[in-house]
Structure 1
Amino acid sequence: MSSLTLIYIILSGIIALLLAGFQYYTKKKSMSKLNMLFLFLRFLTIFSVFLLLINPKLEQITLSTVKPNLVIAVDNSSSIKYLKQGEEAIRLVEKLKTNKDLNDKFNIETYTFGDKLKTSNEIQFNEKQTNIADAFGQLSQIYKQTISPTILITDGNQTFGNSYEFVNNDYKQPIYPIILGDSIQYTDLKIQQLNVNKYAYLKNQFPVETILVYNGDDSVNSKLVVKSGNTVVYSENVNFTKQNNSRVIDFKLPANAVGVHEYKASLEPLANEKNTINNFKNFAVEVIDQKTKIALVSDIVHPDLGVLKKTIESNEQRSVSILNSKEILNQINDFQLVILYQPNNKFNILIERLDSENKNRFTIIGTKTDLNFLNKINNTYSSEITNQTENYQAELNKSYAPFLIEDINFESFPPLNSPYGSTKFSVPFETILNKTINGILKKDPLLATFETSGRREAVMFGENIWQWRAQSYLNDKSFNAFDDFIGKLIQYLASNKQKNRLNVEYESFYNGNTNVIVKAEFFDKNYEFDTRETLTITVKNTATEETKTFPFILNSTNYQVDLSSLPASDYSFTVSVSNENISKSGSFKILEYNVEQQFLNADVTKLQQLATNSEGKHFFVNNTEGLIKNLLNDNRFATIQKSNKNRLSLIDWKYLLIIIALSLSIEWFLRKYNGLI
């Protein structure tokens, strides 16, 4: 409170006393007690009113203590159970959580992690993948502004993700790794990695690359054998020494029959080898009898062309040839789909050929497109010609029916440059992406598909799609989401299959270390996505004849079911709709492989490096006595006392109004009672 405000309050008190005295003070030797009470009540009323007018600010200081956080992150992957460290880890977590001194000093928070960080306290050691770097990435968002030393209980064996030993560049907290597992190095042979294409083409050969690693001091000999069923399709003798402890072996296998073919690559184990599970890997290849050939036709040079080619060819079943409007005329029958990129009048003969042969096509319209020509030669849609351009952003139409589409955060993508104006369709069409400007939805589509005269077409009203692929990588650190979106569009356009009310999306085979996810989409009779239905999948293990039924879970734009709990085997399935006589069947294979069982011991070196880089300290799980003492005595983790200063306006103090009302009421009642009114 300022000195000037204090002077105003004193003056207000004097004036209030003078005004009250003017009414009730008498010149008698002594005032009656009643008048003195009236004078006090009137003074209190006037002074309170003056205080409200002055409205002084009162400062209120509150003190609070903030304890640092103690983060316990537990590796919940199956490698902990495989190394027989699960019970030790659970006992340690309980010991830390129930320690009175730690609870007095810290707010203890417990997390588990496998491929993702979770807040669950259930530690079951059943997750199939480990990504320690991702766990730290998520913790850095939660504890960015606080003091939060972190206890990492793990064997240090990461199956995917960035190197975690340098994580302190992002996670600015001391880390205390608790090392689960043995640090002894055993003699071991293993197939470190096996690289093979997912698809191969009939009567071709597909390449296989194996990376073999040896840990040991003596010279050893072994043999790499690849089998298909009981038939040996490839074998090679290999030898290792302490110095030459790795081999890369490349070979090719024939693709003689269409379908999914499963193989097993194995290294013959050594006599004294402790872990033989990592001596073999299963892999599969789907052999197909043809490759979808796509022509990308353009008479201009644009970065979209290269991006479209790379995106479409990310699926090895497809190949893209970039041609001009003349080159394609002699080989048009070689392609299942033609992409017309910004057509002009030079495309006249090509479009007439496409119409006469009723071929599917994908037209991309941009600022270099000749709209006059396109409107003249095309009888399915026409674009308004304004000679203006506009930047349009995309918004997914979640009711799109012909095929399944995931929302890959289209609204975050940069706008596409397009001729300004509306488009009128003369045939029924379905919108995949709507145009928006500054968040305002327009009536025109940005990307649409339609079917007419037995052929399928798509039209995109915008160029610079190369920026979308770049933004997709920034969002997800991968091109996969964008490539899958374009791949589904190309698959739809390159096929003449009729539209179905029930669509099921699944892989022909799944590796044992990946999630087995089956997606489905169901439409009503108007081909609008129906969220009211109940879908189930009945899965039959063809080896054991065991049958299981799982419900689908509605997930925004589709239904999903996770079948990762199924063991490795061959399966057939049927997806059924509960209230409709509609179903769809298929089959898939789950390959046997558990990446978490490939480790013999803990990765002590990386965990020690992590502790050093983060200014923490590492401990082995059987020697953690000093951990609690270290945390309690570290001055970096002191409790912080915070003071909060609040300025409170007196006008907000409701009790002052109560005083005014009460003093006036008492004065009036007493005057009335004594006959002075």
Structure 2
Amino acid sequence: MTIQTYIYLIIAVIVALLASLFLYHYKSKSAFKHNALFAILRFCTIFLILILLINPKIKNTTVYNEKPNLLVVADNSNSLDFLKQKETIVSLVEAYNNNSRLKKKFNIINYQFSDQLTTSDTLNFKSKQTNISKALEELNRIYKSTVAPTVLITDGNQTIGNDYEFSAKAYNNSIYPIIVGDTTVYDDLSIKTLNVNKYAYLKNKFPVELILMYQGEASVQQTLSISNNGSIVFSKTIDFSKENNSQVLNIELPTSRVGVQTYVASISTLDNEKNTVNNTKNFAIEVVDESTKVAIVSTLMHPDLGVLKKSIETNKQRQAKILEPKELKNQINDFQLVILYQPNSLFKDLYSDLIANAVHTWTITGTKTDWGFLNKQNAYFNFEPTMQTEDYQPELNTGFNAFIIPDLDFEDYPPLQSTFGTTKFNNAYQTLLYKTVNGIKTKESLFATLEDGSQRHAFLFGENIWKWRAQSFLNQQNFMAFDEFIGKTIQYIASKQRKERLSLDYLSFYDGTEAQILKAQVFNKNYEFTANQEVLITLKNTETNETKTLPLVLNNNYYSVNLSQLSAGDYTFTVNVPQENLSRSGAFKILDYNIETQFSSANFTKLNIIAQEKNTKVVTASSIEENISVLLNDKRYLPIQKSQTTTEELINWYYLLFIIILLIAVEWFIRKYKGLI
């Protein structure tokens, strides 16, 4: 408390004393033996009331010991099941959690990882991907400024993500690798990587890239073959040795019929090879007979143009070409969609051709757009510009239903730049993204779509969409989410299909390493998305005739079901909406491939590099007592004494009010009992 507060308290004592003496000594004429008690009670009452009015602040300091964290991070991927190490990992986690000395010294926190990092310590070893790098990066963000030695229990085999050796170098805490699995190096021949596009054109050739790896001392000669429906379409004999232990093959295979074509790439096994699962890889390609051609028209040089072309062409069914307005005039009918980037007066003749040929368009505006020209040529909206530019943050409209939107964190994306103003649409439209300015959501559309008879149009009121693709990579270490968003937009605008009340979004085949998700949207008779429907999918394996029915779960503006629990094979399905009497059918294929079974032993070399970098030691499951002893004896991991000071106002002490009421009540009852009232 301050000196001023102490002065106020002294004054309160004097005031309370004088007031009580005035009431029960000077003014009262009753017996003194009663007055003394009453004066004391009244003094206490007045003094406590004055204390509440002064409201002094009291500081409380609490001293406590904070134990360092011990992170027990266990590998939960399917490779541990394949290497028969499930029980070993579970027992290791229990050994650290049940050690009384460790619990006394550390705050033990359990994590598990596969493709994602979670805090649960319940292991199931079903995940088909391992990303050690991502687990270390996320833990480093959480415990960057705290002492948190990390016990990493894994086989050291990673299937996706950055090289975890570099993530470990940037890790701020010590890492103690516990290796599980056989560390013996066996002779092994494997198809390490197989790269192929998902789509190819009929009567054309598609490229296949294979990376073959050999692990052994002797020189061997093995045969690589690729077959389609049991017929060998490619075969080659390849030599390997200790020095020549890898081969990169680039092959072109022909396409002869439309649809999903499944292939098997295999390399003959060694005589003493332990793991033969990684000698074979299944892959598929969808052969199509037509493609979508997109013209990107602009008179400017801007990074958005290259990003749009790149994103569009990630789907091999689509081709994109950057043109100037005059170049498109004689070939407009060659394109199913025209993207008009920041139109100006040079687009005048092109707009006439677009109207005459009823072409689907996507208009993207920005700071270089000629709004006077665009308002005159465009019949769908009118924009009233100002002389200022503005940065518009996107905010998703969850009620948008023109097409299924990929899961993107639009609110975290960089703002787009455009001229400040208001937009008035002349036709019925749907807003996909709203404009947000300085955190305030407006009713203005940043991204909108509309349909005019058989034509479809989209409008993006902002430039610098290239930043969104860059942000997508920062968030997920790839461009897939953004490219899928652009792909869905192109597919919707360029499509001539009539809108269905039940629309589906799924792939013709799943390769076993990606998310196997089927999505659906249900609309009422006014084509408004309905979020209260029961949506069911009935699946049938065409080989075993086994059927199962699963519900689709509502997720923002679509329903979805995860099909990852299905075994490999060909499936037909029917999605039903019983309340609306709607149904749609389709088919897909799940390839038989599990990347987690490609490893024949634990990766001691990589884990040992991490241990050396962190001045620790790799230990096996049978010698974890050595690691526990190191943790217990390391002087860096001692409790830290901390103090916490809190300031509390006396007016918040509610029991003082109770005491005041009690004092008044006691005085009243005594006076009443003595007959003084």
Indicate yes or no: 2:355 matched with 1:359: no
* Structure 1 range deviating more: 664-673 or 197-206: 664-673
Structure 1 residue 145, shift from structure 2 partner = 4.5
The size of the alignment, in residue pairs, is 673
Match of 2:450 in 1: 450
* Superposed CA offset, 1:81-116 (max 9, x none): 111111222222223222222223333322222111
* Contact 1:509–1:591 (CA under 8 A) maintained in structure 2: yes
Match of 1:590 in 2: 590
CA distance in 2, matches of 1:2, 1:233: 90
Match of 1:133 in 2: 133
* Structure 1 range deviating more: 369-378 or 547-556: 369-378
* Contact 1:111–1:118 (CA under 8 A) maintained in structure 2: yes
CA distance in 2, matches of 1:410, 1:237: 50
* Contact 2:406–2:484 (CA under 8 A) maintained in structure 1: no
CA distance in 2, matches of 1:198, 1:62: 63
Match of 2:642 in 1: 642
Indicate yes or no: 2:247 matched with 1:265: no
Q: Secondary structure at the match of 1:384?
A: strand
- Written as runs of structure 1 = structure 2, the 5 A alignment for 1:208-607 is 208-384=208-384, 389-607=389-607
1:359–1:103: structure 2 CA closer, same or farther, 3 Å change rule? Answer: same
Amino acid at match of 2:516: V
Q: Secondary structure at the match of 2:274?
A: coil
Match of 1:116 in 2: 116
Amino acid at match of 1:423: T
1:95–1:466: structure 2 CA closer, same or farther, 3 Å change rule? Answer: closer
Q: Secondary structure at the match of 1:623?
A: helix
* Structure 1 range deviating more: 291-300 or 165-174: 165-174
* Superposed CA offset, 1:618-668 (max 9, x none): 210122222322222222222333332334444444444444444444445
Amino acid at match of 1:269: T
Give structure 1 stretches of 5+ with no counterpart.
none
Structure 1 residue 300, shift from structure 2 partner = 2.7
CA distance in 2, matches of 1:437, 1:125: 46
Q: Secondary structure at the match of 1:572?
A: strand
* Contact 1:406–1:557 (CA under 8 A) maintained in structure 2: no
CA distance in 1, matches of 2:397, 2:650: 55
CA distance in 2, matches of 1:138, 1:131: 11
Match of 1:102 in 2: 102
- Written as runs of structure 1 = structure 2, the 5 A alignment for 1:157-172 is 157-172=157-172
* Structure 1 range deviating more: 169-178 or 151-160: 169-178
Amino acid at match of 2:148: S
Structure 1 residue 47, shift from structure 2 partner = 4.6
Match of 2:60 in 1: 60
Amino acid at match of 1:425: F
* Contact 1:172–1:614 (CA under 8 A) maintained in structure 2: no
1:670–1:400: structure 2 CA closer, same or farther, 3 Å change rule? Answer: closer
* Superposed CA offset, 1:145-192 (max 9, x none): 443322221101011112223334554222222110111111111111
Structure 1 residue 314, shift from structure 2 partner = 1.9
* Structure 1 range deviating more: 455-464 or 655-664: 655-664
* Superposed CA offset, 1:192-213 (max 9, x none): 1111122111222111111111
CA distance in 2, matches of 1:475, 1:513: 19
Structure 1 residue 339, shift from structure 2 partner = 1.7
* Superposed CA offset, 1:49-101 (max 9, x none): 55556655444333333333322222111111111111222222223222222
CA distance in 1, matches of 2:649, 2:435: 51
Q: Secondary structure at the match of 1:624?
A: helix
Amino acid at match of 2:108: I
Q: Scaled by the length of structure 2, what TM-score is found?
A: 0.92
* Structure 1 range deviating more: 373-382 or 426-435: 373-382
CA distance in 1, matches of 2:561, 2:97: 36
1:565–1:22: structure 2 CA closer, same or farther, 3 Å change rule? Answer: closer
* Contact 1:38–1:667 (CA under 8 A) maintained in structure 2: yes
Amino acid at match of 2:204: N
Q: What percentage of aligned pairs have identical amino acids?
A: 53
1:101–1:457: structure 2 CA closer, same or farther, 3 Å change rule? Answer: same
CA distance in 2, matches of 1:663, 1:283: 87
* Structure 1 range deviating more: 601-610 or 296-305: 296-305
Match of 2:90 in 1: 90
- Written as runs of structure 1 = structure 2, the 5 A alignment for 1:138-149 is 138-149=138-149
CA distance in 2, matches of 1:506, 1:79: 28
Give structure 2 stretches of 5+ with no counterpart.
none
Amino acid at match of 2:544: T
1:5–1:276: structure 2 CA closer, same or farther, 3 Å change rule? Answer: same
Structure 1 residue 670, shift from structure 2 partner = 3.8
1:19–1:302: structure 2 CA closer, same or farther, 3 Å change rule? Answer: closer
* Contact 1:392–1:416 (CA under 8 A) maintained in structure 2: yes
1:620–1:44: structure 2 CA closer, same or farther, 3 Å change rule? Answer: same
* Superposed CA offset, 1:435-487 (max 9, x none): 33334343442222222242222222233322332333333333222221111
Structure 1 residue 237, shift from structure 2 partner = 0.9
* Contact 2:169–2:610 (CA under 8 A) maintained in structure 1: no
* Contact 1:132–1:164 (CA under 8 A) maintained in structure 2: yes
1:241–1:14: structure 2 CA closer, same or farther, 3 Å change rule? Answer: same
